[in-house]
Structure 1
């Protein structure tokens, strides 16, 4: 029997068979997780699986843990709270905010950090909770997202060491996500050198050198990973079976763990060009159209409020996505061989952005199959 979840609301199982929905194959998720784990372990690299793209749905996290993973990473405390009862180390990926320090200490075992004021707040919260909170100090190596500059590392590390109830677990970096900077021997090598510099100058040992996300995996696959990287934080490579530096599929991994299904709510022949003077659409954009004559046009009950439309790909290759409004997805079925009708279901593959939005939307049913 299929199970349905609504996220981010409280997890409930219903018998609702309605659309739109996204279906999740747990067997394929388990397979991909085991492959990623084996790839990393063969190279002496530990793995944190990033679960933010599916809001840390407990049934999915359980499958990942059963596959052998011991660290779950998520960007939101709310998602880590959802899996508080599961036995694993919980890593907060987004930099903590001072206002959430107590919640971070309560629900995350480890957090990524770059601000001393925040670290002091975490220390205070950890003392209050009588816990030791582990931190990874993030270094900005050029992608210009989070992290301190390399020249600030020693002074910042000295301050971190002096904070009560804070364990300085190691250092890390993020690449590709904002600036598109590819992980390479230069920037990852610099991260390893910084770790050695900290240990030599401060007389401590760091357990973790976290060398990035799924964009760093290509170096592991090519057997060119910089020696000294001990950890990767992998999301897209596990759930969609591809590395993200060059967008190449990982041999042997499933690409279709997730299937989005939408129901046709209107099917009519209409012109391809709107009639009248064209102004701004609902999103403040001025659309342009190509005159292709009369089309067989379908409307699917999903829109830009729920999904990044550019990230959807119809599995029926004869279907063309025309665009969408906040609540409707418009399709061109003119060249379809299938005899679609109102009430039929159209299946789509999803990219990471589309998956993220679909899983976050409470208007999309989530089915475990």
Structure 2
């Protein structure tokens, strides 16, 4: 059945070996692998759980973590919730998650109360905002940061595990030695102030890993959280391919449902498309147009690259993607399969869609 996402487990394992070497051997950091990119796919999760170099398994959805919490713990990995917990999911967070990222003291109080009910000790990592302006206590509000920590330290069923930062995902701020040094300096000050040891100072995600190769990851940063670096081999700060990794771990296959010669310009007054956008069309004359059976509901057209380099993606709707196959050396026909490499957005949507089949290569 199509569309189909082909997951190459051998290549994923090779990528995991490569990022583990960079992170742990070269960077002296613990390794947190993020599973949300493939929607906690069970085969990928098993691979990660059984890898000796992985210390933490993380996701932004509690429902995903719930599917593999037992497997992770059986293999000595701690489970981590990356997205700030919602008040409505506190019970599930304490049940399935060993460590959660937090910035709101009201949420941490609820975690403490629920952990007491479940007779558990729940670990929290306090997020610090260094300027990307997504989650975290703003780094210049030091009094607020220390007041929050003081309250956490008094809690009986919550352990203050450390501090962390997220960069690149919202504000596109690139991790540098200077901004991550602020986090490392704050960690040192916290340890001195409270005579405590921070287990984790998490210096970001796949956009931070390039600093290890440059020798610029500040001393004191001892954890990185890697999703795209593992799944697609990307340093997400500058888009470079990481040493020892490959980007063709995933392949999307879709079937041609129509093949016709038509004008390249729609005929009539142009309004907005199904997503409220006014499209732009290039006049290519009469072209051979192939329609494949996948669309914006199930993938990200901007994050798909045809393996046949002579195919152009023209656009699409919810259910269809339209290709220009005029210049291709392949004589496509209805029923043929077109293959694509995926970027992060395409991977995320196809892995999440129930309408995309999965096939594994080992």
Structure 1 length-normalised TM: 0.94
Instruction: Output one character per residue of 1:273-292: Cα deviation in whole Å (capped at 9) or x when no partner.
Output: 11222222211222222221
- Which whole-Å CA distance do the structure 2 matches of 1:41 and 1:252 have between them? 15
Superposed displacement of residue 298, structure 1: 0.3
Q: Secondary structure at the match of 1:198?
A: helix
Counterpart of 2:95 (choices 87, 97, 106) is 106
**1:200 and 2:192 are equivalent in the alignment:** yes
Superposed CA RMSD: 0.9
Q: Which residue of 2 aligns with 1:135?
A: 124
Equivalent positions of 1:10-159 (< 5 A) are: 18-42=1-25, 43-68=27-52, 69-86=54-71, 87=74, 88-150=77-139, 151=142, 152-159=144-151
Structure 1 unmatched runs, 5+? 1-17
Structure 2 unmatched runs, 5+? none
Counterpart of 1:343 (choices 335, 339, 354) is 335
- Which whole-Å CA distance do the structure 1 matches of 2:246 and 2:275 have between them? 35
Q: Which residue of 2 aligns with 1:318?
A: 310
* Greater displacement, 277-286 / 234-243: 277-286
Q: Which residue of 2 aligns with 1:219?
A: 211
Superposed displacement of residue 66, structure 1: 2.3
Superposed displacement of residue 251, structure 1: 2.3
- Which whole-Å CA distance do the structure 2 matches of 1:173 and 1:288 have between them? 39
Q: Secondary structure at the match of 1:112?
A: strand
8 Å Cα contact 1:29-1:64 kept in structure 2: no
- Which whole-Å CA distance do the structure 1 matches of 2:280 and 2:69 have between them? 49
8 Å Cα contact 2:2-2:357 kept in structure 1: yes
Superposed displacement of residue 97, structure 1: 0.8
8 Å Cα contact 1:126-1:166 kept in structure 2: yes
Aligned length: 352
Q: Secondary structure at the match of 1:84?
A: helix
- Which whole-Å CA distance do the structure 1 matches of 2:215 and 2:46 have between them? 30
